[in-house]
Amino acid sequence: MTELLQTIFQSLQELLGTAIKNLPGLISGLIILFLTRYFAQVGQKVVSKAGEKALRSKSLQILLKKTTYVGTWMVGILFACVVGFPGLDLGDIIATLGIGSVAIGFAFQDIVKNFLAGIILLIEEPFRIGDEVVINDYQGKVENISIRTTQIRTYEGEKILLPNANVFTDAVKVRTAYVSRRTDLGVGVDYNTPLSEAAEILNKTIKRVEGVLTNPVPEIDLVNFGDSSIDFVIRYWTYPEQKEVRHVQTRAIIAIKKACDEADINIPYPIRTLYYYNQEKYNDYIPNSERGNNSFN
């Protein structure tokens, strides 16, 4: 029993001696980590200012900031490991990181997938920060692309976070990708309306609406013989922002209604014609014998 206690005590002394011996290295490693945090934040700010001057793309500015931040931490952690554990060789650390990265890749494959998709989105720029997009059932303005998610502010003022991997693989409609965007506005006129005259009035009216672009030129198309009307489609172009599209459409509807009223052009609503008849006289279920008697009467 005494020998066992002596062995335990001796082992504790050796561990304590090893800890005291390595204590300066561990403290130095912790100091390096704190300095790494400071340099990562400072470096991110410096790179951000330099990127704003050198790069026009906000996406590339964000990518540069994130790369600087992550790279600084990687270098700092490696340096802290070398200083904190003098027995470790840099090659051993890199080999350990290689093995660990495989395990981490399997355990956090969704996070890694979203991270890589975010980098590709920032480099390729299928859309930019500030663009208005439609992704699946979500519509709004792109506010940020982080390491894991793409942040969208909907037109209703809601914040939506979409995984970068989904954004990368799904179809994305970029509404503000070009300088102009077309709106198709349907208008129905009465069947008694002179069509050429109506088309001319609609063409002049839409061109005078504030916010309608002169290039491309608005178009007036006849598209359908409806139940109660002959249908036109007015195709005009505006700036692509959703707010501008809505406001111009409101002004267009007001102007078209006013122009049609002044020209005595009727914009009909659905009409149903009802026929009244004597159901007893035209009853299909009257037997043939009775029909014959009624015919002689």
Q: Report pLDDT digits (tens) over 172-181.
A: 999 999 999 9
* pLDDT of the residue at 248: 97
* pLDDT of the residue at 297: 45
Cβ–Cβ contacts within 10 Å for residue 98, how many?
Answer: 9
Answer with the residue of higher pLDDT: 217 or 273.
217
Reported as type and span, the H/E element at residue 236 is: strand 230-238
- Determine the average pLDDT of the residues in 53-81: 72
* Residues 87, 136 contacting (CB under 8 angstroms): no
Rounded to whole angstroms, how far apart are CA atoms 4 and 15?
17
* CATH class of the domain at 21-107: mainly alpha
- Pairing mode, if any, of strands 159-163 and 149-154? antiparallel
- pLDDT at residue 292 greater than cutoff 90: no
Average pLDDT over the chain, rounded to an integer: 79
Domain 125-174 belongs in CATH node 3.90.920.10: no
Residues 6+ apart with CB under 8 A from 127: 133, 142, 172, 174, 177
* pLDDT of the residue at 14: 60
The owner of tokens 């990708």 is 177
Domain 178-297 belongs in CATH node 3.30.70.100: yes
- Determine the average pLDDT of the residues in 278-295: 57
Cβ–Cβ contacts within 10 Å for residue 229, how many?
Answer: 21
Where are the chain's structural domains?
Answer: 21-107, 125-174, 178-297
Bridge partners of 235? 184, 219
Confidence of residue 68 (pLDDT cuts 50, 70, 90): confident
* Residues 256, 189 contacting (CB under 8 angstroms): no
* pLDDT of the residue at 55: 66
Separation in Å, CA 135 to CA 118, 163, 164, 240 = 15, 11, 11, 17
Classify residue 218 by its DSSP letter.
Answer: P
Rounded to whole angstroms, how far apart are CA atoms 143 and 145?
7
Answer with the residue of higher pLDDT: 148 or 90.
148
Confidence of residue 111 (pLDDT cuts 50, 70, 90): confident
Answer with the residue of higher pLDDT: 201 or 274.
201
- Determine the average pLDDT of the residues in 95-100: 55
* pLDDT of the residue at 238: 96
* pLDDT of the residue at 208: 95
Same fold, 21-107 and 178-297: no
pTM: 0.63
- For the record, the structure tokens of 32 come out as 């390096």
Q: Report pLDDT digits (tens) over 138-163.
A: 999 999 888 789 999 999 999 999 99
Q: Comparing C-alpha atoms, which of 61, 65, 173, 179 is closest to residue 126?
A: 173
Q: What are phi and psi of 153, to 5 degrees?
A: -100, 115
* pLDDT of the residue at 2: 64
* Residues 53, 120 contacting (CB under 8 angstroms): no
